[in-house]
Amino acid sequence: MAKGIKAREEIPQKYKWDLERIYPNESSIEADFAKVKELLEKTVGLKGRLGDREVLLQCLQTGDEMGIVMGRLFAYAHMRLDEDRRVSKYQSLNDRVRALGVEVGEKTSFVEPELLKLDPNVLEEIIDDNRFVPYKMYFQEIARSREHVLSDAEERILASLGEVADAPSEIYSMLTNADIKFGTVKDSQGEEIEFSEGRAMSFFQSRDRRVRKDAYNTLYQTYTGFKNTLSQTLANNIKVNSVTARLRKYDSSIAMSLFPDNVPVQVYDNLIDTVSDNLQYLHEYVAMKKKMLGLDEMHFYDLYVPLVEDYDKEIKYEEAVETVKKGLASLGDRYIEDLSQGIANNWIDVFENQGKRSGAYSSGSYDTMPYILMNYDNKMSDLFTLAHELGHSMHSFYSNKKQHFRTAGYSIFVAEVASIFNETLLLNYLLNNAAVREEKLYLLNYNLEGYRGTVFRQVMFAEFERIIHRKIDNGEALTPDVLCEEYYNLNKKYYGPEMTLDDNIAMEWSRIPHFYYNFYVYKYAIGFCAAKTLAGPIIEGDREALERYLSFLESGGSDYPLELLKKAGVDMSSREPVEKCMQSFKESLDRFAEEKEGQKG
């Protein structure tokens, strides 16, 4: 009989997030629905009068209050649903909140077009009014986006289509998280184990090649059975982005997606070009891994196996929490105390359960705790995931505490800095305290995998996105064969001649939810390179660098991402940090090889 995944009620309460802190009962949820309706009608009543500063201030403040309440509802609904995607009650609640969000967007769509009708000089005067200080970035964005805002009627139409536009992503999520079943895989003892996305990495890291090969084939053959549906959902998601870009007069889908961060397309292209110019280092890594694993052929199901034999340390969750605290100690007492309080107050939903969303994330809203969803499985990688997600949550905690609602929300472009920064500090701590040589080698290998997974892999994803979006922008079709061919060729380019490709890898695009977020994944690579640059001085004890970094965590979205990073100490508009990251990967590769040879000696 196969080992089953636990039902949610079997998980002890101390390992579950405390969403009752948001809404203790259903009546409190309904009260917020009613509150949004009330605030929405109040806002609509101000239409046509925003040229009056008193009315404009009232509109903005009402919008803040409505945004805070909507944030609570969105956070609660999607987190409740992610606890178990099969629960119809929370599917319904999530749908209600999303529908309300569309209604809010539709009925408040008059605000920006009306402000754009004001004389630009009047807007400048408003910015200089002390009462409007929290809205400075908002007004700057209005001025910057002037050419891309449509008429009142057109904005209402686009807003009303919001729920329909999100349909491809929602269908994909339901299909892959709730409906697709992968069956079982026999472990190294021959016992049938229920397979899931949440357990995939554990199988792929197995020392038993038969186990990881079976898991790999089970995973991709399952997705292949849905390739027509999955290609249609992805293609339609990209079509929505492409059509919206044309309607809003952007040069391309990518230009529209990068516009909110005020990031030039050149930054995206530079990232891909710089990594592409250094792919020989990834090829070297694949060749080294093939040799060290003693393989005649290196397959993708061999890629995640640690290069350290007989070392597979199990880390219980409580031990992981204490280790993360020690690893992040260089961030100071205040940071560690705030982090400890958060964990004690049930920020984290720790373990996998039936129907639970796969992976990990940090979520919440302006006036809630910065919650974390995990699927902790006692692996070293889960220890790093914990540090990673706490980086996000602590960033949110400090930004929400320091910033006004309008400037608290930060871009994903900078969000990945805080999370990967935490991983970098943890890695340094673990390397310095490795009890045995095998642990040190394991960590060095983990570091290499960090570069491979967060820079090379994400940039490959970014290049894939650029290819498929350009095809849709140019009126070409995205059939399953086209998607598979493009993805297969990119894997061939990135992993080099020592990797033996099979047909299954051509389907990997179908299991990457980030492709529905439109030019999201490149920010992981940007964040990784920025984090490595910022962490070095702090590890060395540079107090000024630490103060700059802590100020960065409190800065939210008070400036554009590139400017925030410059203030923190790194210029991501240049190729230099990415080049340094590539050289650092090469140095890590050489260090691992030397340590491995020393072990043999």
* Residue 600: pLDDT over 70: no
Q: DSSP states of 374-441 as a string?
A: ----SSHHHHHHHHHHHHHHHHHHHHHHHS-HHHH---HHHHHHHHHHHHHHHHHHHHHT-SSHHHHH
Do residues 511 and 224 lie in contact, with contact meaning Cβ atoms separated by under 8 Å? no
Q: Helices marked H in 474-521 — which ranges? A: 480-495
User: Quick check: helix, strand or coil at residue 383?
Assistant: helix
How do residues 431-490 score in pLDDT, each as one tens digit?
999 988 888 888 998 899 889 999 999 999 999 999 999 999 999 999 999 999 999 999
Question: Does the pLDDT of residue 3 top 90, yes or no?
Answer: no
Give pLDDT, residue 1: 33
Q: Count the Cβ atoms, other than its own, within 10 Å of residue 34.
A: 11
Q: In angstroms, rounded to a whole number, what is the distance separating the alpha carbons of residues 485 and 561?
A: 35
The pTM of the whole model exceeds 0.85: no
| Cβ atoms of 437 and 599 closer than 8 Å | yes
Instruction: Note the pLDDT of residue 113.
Output: 86
Q: Which residues are catalytic?
A: 389
- What does the alpha-carbon distance between residue 309 and residue 258 come to, in Å, rounded to a whole number? 43
User: Using one digit for the tens of pLDDT, what is the confidence trace for 294-309?
Assistant: 999 999 999 998 787 6
DSSP 3-state of 499: strand
CA distances from 413 to 110, 506, 563 (A): 29, 28, 11
CATH architecture of the domain formed by 19-165: Up-down Bundle (1.20)
Q: Is the pLDDT of residue 550 over 80?
A: yes
- For 268, the token pair is 């995206």
Location of structure tokens 């186990």 = 211
Alpha carbon distance 278, 593 (integer Å): 19
In eight-state DSSP terms, residue 368 is S
pLDDT of residue 4: 78
DSSP β-bridge partners for residue 186: 192
3-state helix, strand, coil in the chain (%, to 5): 70, 0, 25
Measured distance CA(316)–CA(328) in Å, rounded: 18
Q: Which residues contact 256 (CB under 8 A, 6 or more apart)?
A: 148, 241, 244, 245, 248, 250
CA distance 5 to 353: 6
Apex CA 162: angle with CA 158 and CA 168, to 5°?
A: 125
> At which residue do the structure tokens 């038969």 appear?
210
Q: What is the tens place of the pLDDT at every residue in 95-151? A: 999 999 999 999 999 998 899 888 888 888 888 899 999 999 999 888 888 889 888
Q: Is 315 helix (H, G, I), strand (E, B) or coil?
A: coil
What pLDDT is attached to residue 117? 86
Answer yes or no: is pLDDT of 245 > 50: yes
Token pair 């880390």 is found at: 315
Dihedral over Cα of 302, 282, 258, 556: its sign: positive
Domain ranges of the chain: 19-165
Burial 135-162 (b: 16+ CB within 10 A, else e): bebbbebbeeeeeebbeeeebbebbebb
Distances (CA, A) of 169 to 240, 373, 446, 515: 11, 20, 32, 9
pLDDT at 487: 98
In the predicted model, is pLDDT for residue 340 greater than 60?
A: yes
Three-state secondary structure string covering 524-592? HHHHHHHHHHHHHHHHCCCHHHHHHHHHHHHCCCCCCHHHHHHHHCCCCCCCHHHHHHHHHHHHHHHHH
- According to the model, what pLDDT value does residue 258 have? 95
| C-alpha closest to that of 515 among 467, 459, 461, 477 | 461
> Residue 265 is encoded by which pair of tokens?
């397309």
Using alpha carbons, select from 236, 222, 76 the residue that is nearest to residue 165.
236
State the angle between helix axes of 265-276 and 576-600 in degrees (0 to 180), rounded to the nearest 10.
30
The span from the CA of 81 to the CA of 87, in Å, is: 7
Q: Quick check: 36 and 71 in contact, CB under 8 A? A: no
DSSP letter string, 455-486 = IIHHHHHHHHHHHHHHHHHTT----HHHHHHH
The arithmetic mean of pLDDT across residues 65-74, rounded, is 98
Q: What is the rounded distance in angstroms from the CA atom of residue 574 to the CA atom of residue 577?
A: 7
Q: What is the pLDDT of residue 310?
A: 65
E strands, 365-515, are 372-373
CA pair distance 501, 430, nearest whole angstrom: 34
* Token pair for 506: 């051509």
For 194, phi then psi, to 5°, come to: -65, 130
**pLDDT reported for residue 262:** 95
- Percent share of the chain, pLDDT over 70: 98
For residue 394, the tally of other CB atoms under 10 A from its CB is 22
pLDDT: is 440 or 334 the higher one? 334
Q: What is the DSSP letter of 356?
A: P
The answer on pLDDT for 386 being more than 50 is yes
